[in-house]
Structure 1
Amino acid sequence: MSVIPRRRRAAGAAALAAGLLLAVAACGGGGSGTTAKGGDTKAGTGTGGKVTLTFWDWDPNIDKVVAKWNAGHPGIQVKLSNPAGGDQLVAKMITAHEAKNGPDIAKVEYQSLPALVSKGVVADITDYTKDTVTKYDQATLKSTVFQGKVYGIPQDVAPLMLFYRADLFAKYGLTVPKTWDDFAATAKALRAKAPSAYLTNFDAADPGWFTGLAQQAGANWWSTSGDSWKVDIADAPTKKVAGYWQQLVDGGSIAKNPSFSPQWNKQMNDGTLLTWISGAWAPAQLGGIAPATKGKWKVAQLPAWTAGDPTTGIWGGSATTVTSDSPHPEEAAEFASWLNTDDAAVTEQVKQINVYPAATAGRSLPVLQAAPAFFPNQPDFYAEVKKVAPSARSFPMWGPDVTVTFTGYTDGFAKALQSGGSFTAALDSMQSATLADMKKLGFTVG
């Protein structure tokens, strides 16, 4: 089965077929070849036979992890840069690739990887990762392996969790909601008790959290049959999620401002907002968002549609990729493997950026027995994440133009919030924009 744009099939099919957008449904683990072995004798961009690799990554404190590598690998030095994060970094990677001046290594969120594979931005590193891939379970590997070829080393998994202000829940006599019905009732009760406070906000600026909620509800936005794609962003599970949040917004139960804005940061810091639906990586961000709240947050399982159901979605989760522009793919793959599977490196990542490791052994490291620095009041933080991680559900496959889909979210839902319009109509606009772009790119869409 091949899911390649029609216009590329004649001249480009041979080059593209190895990794193109059979996406996650056709993934398999492993590859052939040998793991890279770095050393001082390799020719490179530095002096004295040293290799200097450029690494694009937006994680706070990742420089401390890179410093650990550099101290132990004098022959392969890594130079860190943070040009952007998330979708913006993907756009910069594409632009840099077109100019033939991309980095050697880059952090990429799982949903963005298929598009970067299809555009030839990231390299097939199968020959350098035979040993590395044995350190992951198949469910984790499938996000980075396409048609049996490895295009990235998984860094973390990011199940959606409910982060809540334990002190304010106690102050207002609130119980942590276990179902979405409970969540709605709690949001309404809080407004009655504290009119200046909100349980949470609806964020129309970042689609990550909403996508995770759709996944939890059972949505499948992309699928394939033969050479044809199906796009179903406005499917029944996603409409259920949109309708639920529309009621909360229309009823005035939750705030409407975007996350990661100065206003939102202030509200998170001063107690206006009592919860944050976020990925397991949130502790690494809260220190910068709400510094006055250290030790006041706790984490709980995401509310369920059916009581007792542990299913959750994901928000983010990333891989370390080697770009096709790198003149040193073997050394770059060695660093990517070390970063995400070496016990000392993974331990340092947990300490510095609060990842929940993707590598199987990483999830049993002693460092996970302690709380993240921002959550000193919850020593079982990672134990709570571990409970739900096996039930974290992504889409079975991501589409080839996720950036367009996500832009459709920010455009459509922002307009709906401003005008009091329909969230379902916003989903329809996402669907239309995604279909139009895929057809423009030459994909067959049924």
Structure 2
Amino acid sequence: MAPQQRRFTRLSRSAALIATAATALLVLSACSGSSTGTATDSGLGFTPADQVADSAITVWVDAAREPAVAAFEKKYPNIKVNKETYDGNAGGSGSFQTKISLFDQSGEGWPDVVWSTQTNDASWASKENNGQQAFAAPLNKGWFDQSFLDGFSKGALDPVTVDGTVYGLRNDLAQVVFWYDQSLFTQFGYQIPQTWEDYAALSDKLAAEHPGYILGSVGDSFVGTYVYYYGAQAPIFQSTASTFSSNFDDPKSQKMTDLIDHMLKNGTLVQDSVFSADFVKKYQGKVLGMPGPVWYTGAIFQSKDSLNVPAGQIGAGVPLHWNGDSIGTGNVGGGVWYASSHTKNLEAVKTFLQFVTSADEYQVDLAPGYPAYASAAQKWIAKQASGGYFVGDFEKNVTDAAGEIWSGWGYPSFSPETAYAKVVVPGLAAGKTLASLTSDWKTEMVNEAKVQGYTIQ
């Protein structure tokens, strides 16, 4: 489908307010030659740097978000952007925090905008460090219009809200649904599962009747943590502002551990990364179905570099949940844009953030995932559904799942992915069961929490 060309009209609702604030700061800085004002009197919730009119903004993105910058530059050619590509903090690498800490030590060099694949960075980016004010600027204390912030889907900004203050803007939601290949389900005469119990029972039938076909992978750290345990509402990663807890003995945790071990044993869950060449080589045309985030649409199923499934086969079922329980699906990323409190061009940063999170030119026409901004999400999902690629209740199930993300998962200043990658991935590869690894997995997460200063419960 050809991209729709639309004008974005929300960007300057409070441009006059920001321009006035910026002008005042320029006048004051011209007199004093140094930063002026305080977080209290700035009207923004933080102490702004001396503003430099028309200064370039430095934006950090991963490779997948480069189109967002290109779309912005096309729409706003008069705003100069210095784009720097980094790993996007993928896999909980910690590169975002490490780099910012170095700038905090030197007192200079901060980027103006940072993209992160992780939803837990607000826990550290909202705190002072090395005598510097928090890197992430508050967005709901006078800088951004509340009417704009209210446009995000319900709960979308919860992971980046600390004590009532919003420190980042979600780019997309990453709700999990059950993806299925309707042609294979029809061929085999199977029913699409709706519960984890259905899923496990289906795995036994598939293993016995069609060996070699699969129902998913646990070879990626984001899958084992966010798709399976998060989706099972298992309390293995919970936190408050100062505490952390991990409970693998909870019934839902134990049931998920047993389910994964059972399906690894019967061969319907595999250990290959879904992004690996081996996964494509071994399982192209053999994925009956698998739970996964909404961004699997373009990244896995439609991608010519991945499964490249023809149109008219893939559908999105309801999120898997335990029999008798309400749906509480997982969330796999859904990256975040952060604005630096040290920026010297408030107006340009605001314009950039509003564009990349809500403008049709990026979020509807180019973005690979379900937008966190509600109006863009409606258009995005309608566009996906109208293209004729997906089958079944794709639009309804994906949209419903956006409001069914489990609220019990934690967002501390570290990711569960690092411990999973360190303990579980090599352990499973060595032939160990997941049940035999959960104790070490928990210990690794607890140790990370202690290093970050959390009290263990």
Do both share a fold (TM > 0.5)?
yes
- Identity among equivalent pairs (%): 18
Query: Which residue is 1:431 aligned to?
Result: 442
TM-superposition CA deviations, 1:128-164 (whole Å, max 9, x none): 2133323235522222221222211122221111112
Corresponding residue number in structure 2 for 1:413: 424
Kindly report which structure 2 residues correspond to 1:33-432, keeping only aligned pairs within 5 A, or say none: 50-58=54-62, 60=64, 62-87=65-90, 91-100=94-103, 101-108=109-116, 109-118=118-127, 120-126=134-140, 127-131=142-146, 132-136=148-152, 139-203=155-219, 205-220=220-235, 221-224=237-240, 229-236=243-250, 237-268=252-283, 270-286=284-300, 287-290=303-306, 292-295=308-311, 296-306=313-323, 309-324=326-341, 326-342=343-359, 344-345=360-361, 348-365=362-379, 367-371=380-384, 376-378=389-391, 381-395=394-408, 397-402=410-415, 405-432=416-443
CA distance in 2, matches of 1:277, 1:185: 15
Q: How far is 1:357 from its partner?
A: 2.3
Q: CA deviation at 1:372?
A: 6.0
Counterparts of 1:213 and 1:110, CA distance in 2: 17
8 Å CA contact 1:294, 1:375 repeated in 2:
no
**1:170-225, Cα deviation, whole Å (9 max, x unpaired):** 2333221122222122222222333232222232x32345334323333332234x
| In 2, Cα distance between equivalents of 1:103 and 1:307 | 48
Q: Find the aligned partners of 1:68 and 1:245 in 2 and give their Cα distance.
A: 42
Distance 1:159 1:138, change over 3 A: closer
Question: Does the C-alpha gap of structure 1 residues 66 and 373 become closer, same or farther in structure 2, counting only changes over 3 Å?
Answer: farther
Native 8 Å contact 2:153 2:374 kept in 1? yes
**1:395/1:438 Cα in 2 relative to 1: closer, same or farther (>3 Å)?**
same
Q: Return 5+ residue gaps in structure 1 as ranges.
A: 1-32
Measure the CA separation in 2 of the matches of 1:49 and 1:56.
21
TM-score (structure 1 length as normaliser): 0.78
Question: Distance between the aligned counterparts of 1:351 and 1:59, measured in 2?
Answer: 18
Distance 1:307 1:266, change over 3 A: farther
Distance 2:344 2:231 in 1: 41
Contact preservation (8 Å) 1:55, 1:79: yes
Consecutive unaligned residues of structure 2, counting only runs of 5 or more, are 1-12, 27-51, 104-108
Q: Is the 8 A contact 2:225 2:420 kept in 1?
A: no
The Cα RMSD (Å) is 3.2
- Relative to structure 1, the CA distance from residue 407 to residue 308 in structure 2 (aligned partners, 3 Å threshold; closer, same or farther) is closer
> In structure 2, do the counterparts of structure 1 residues 162 and 397 end up closer, same or farther at CA, with 3 Å as the change threshold?
same
Q: Which amino acid aligns with 2:124?
A: A
State the 1:79 CA deviation: 4.0
What code does the residue aligned with 2:309 have? T
Q: Secondary structure at the match of 1:391?
A: coil
Greater helix fraction, Structure 1 or Structure 2: 1
User: What's the TM-score once normalised by structure 2's chain length?
Assistant: 0.76
**SS at the partner of 2:371?**
coil
- Say if 1:215 and 1:394, in contact at 8 Å, map to a contact too: no
Aligned residues: 398
Cα distance in 1 for residues equivalent to 2:256 and 2:405: 17
Q: Secondary structure at the match of 1:54?
A: strand
Q: Relative to 1, partners in 2 of residues 1:303 and 1:159: Cα closer, same or farther, differing over 3 Å?
A: same
Q: Can you list the C-alpha shifts for 1:407-434, whole angstroms capped at 9, x where unaligned?
A: 2112221233133324234222232122
